[in-house]
Structure 1
Amino acid sequence: MNDLESRIRTSFDRQSMMRTLGAVLAQVEPGRITITAPILPTVRQQHGAGHAGLAFSIGDSAAGYAALTLMPEDAEVMTVEMKINLMSPATGDRLLAQGRVIRPGRRVMVVAADVWAETGDRRKHVAMLQGTMIPV
């Protein structure tokens, strides 16, 4: 594990929300992050699909950590704003969020994330997020 991945994983491990959701930091690359989370019975909405809050939580974190990979070592990151488009019910075994940096900047970074629901080898695009992050 390189220094960048170690720094990102250490920060991610401090997020109690991600632990609560069962989320896992699956992949770390400069400007790109993948997070997965099971669609547990405790995170479903009234129709049985994964709640939009789950998709938003892991999508926001994937986008934020993608931004953090391009920031100085002593920086942390916070979301300034985030928009989500929910495109399909999140039905399946787990969600996978892939965050990426659209435009890096010193003060504000534009980021995005795509969220898929997966069952076995089937994948369905369920949400898109776009927002801005700020170093703190």
Structure 2
Amino acid sequence: MDDPTQAQQADPKVQARIRASFDRQGLMSHLGARIARIAPGRVHIVLPARPEVTQQHGYFHAGATSAIADSAGGYAAYTLFPEDTEVLTVEYKINLLAPATGDHIEAIGTVLKPGRTLTVCQLEVFGVQQGGERKLVANGQQTLIRVNRPGQ
């Protein structure tokens, strides 16, 4: 891969801010999702397979897949925002390309176009087998807005 963020990690203060925010998300905790990687403009979120996040056929549920994709993109944008701001999703579209199966799924949010107000991200979700084999199961795009932290 020729992705420059692959070798980079976000600044430790940025990582701490991202992790603290993520830890306050009830849905991510409820789903059992965790942040796997934080780089400038790029965040990976992993969701382990378990019955509570599947649909009736045993695949990862589209809602769980979409939720971690949304959060991965949001936090990717947040890595580039000033410390006194927050991030909110304006809209996102996701295409479910294949049934999501595997030991876990991994959502990767990547900033395509940062902005002072609006930021656009690419969303990818991979089904990952125990041996490491990866398959793209969802792809999307997201628009986020940077807002001042309440009380600022």
In the superposition, the TM-score normalised over structure 1's length comes to 0.97
Larger radius of gyration: 2
1:53 matched residue in structure 2: 63
Q: Distance in 2 between matches of 1:96 and 1:103?
A: 22
> Offset of 1:43 from its aligned partner?
1.3
> Offset of 1:118 from its aligned partner?
1.0
2:107 matched residue in structure 1: 97
1:37 matched residue in structure 2: 47
2:140 to 124, 129, 136: 129
Q: Distance in 1 between matches of 2:145 and 2:49?
A: 29
> Offset of 1:14 from its aligned partner?
0.5
SS at match of 1:58: helix
**Residue pair 1:28, 1:34 contacting (<8 A) in 2 also:** yes
Runs of 4+ that moved beyond 6 A: none
> Offset of 1:39 from its aligned partner?
2.1
Q: Deviations over 1:10-54 (max 9, x none)?
A: 111100100011101111111000100112101111111000111
In the superposition, the TM-score normalised over structure 2's length comes to 0.87
SS at match of 2:85: coil
The one-letter code sitting in structure 2 at the alignment partner of 1:135 is R
Q: Distance in 2 between matches of 1:55 and 1:129?
A: 11
Identity among equivalent pairs (%) = 51
Alignment size in residue pairs = 136
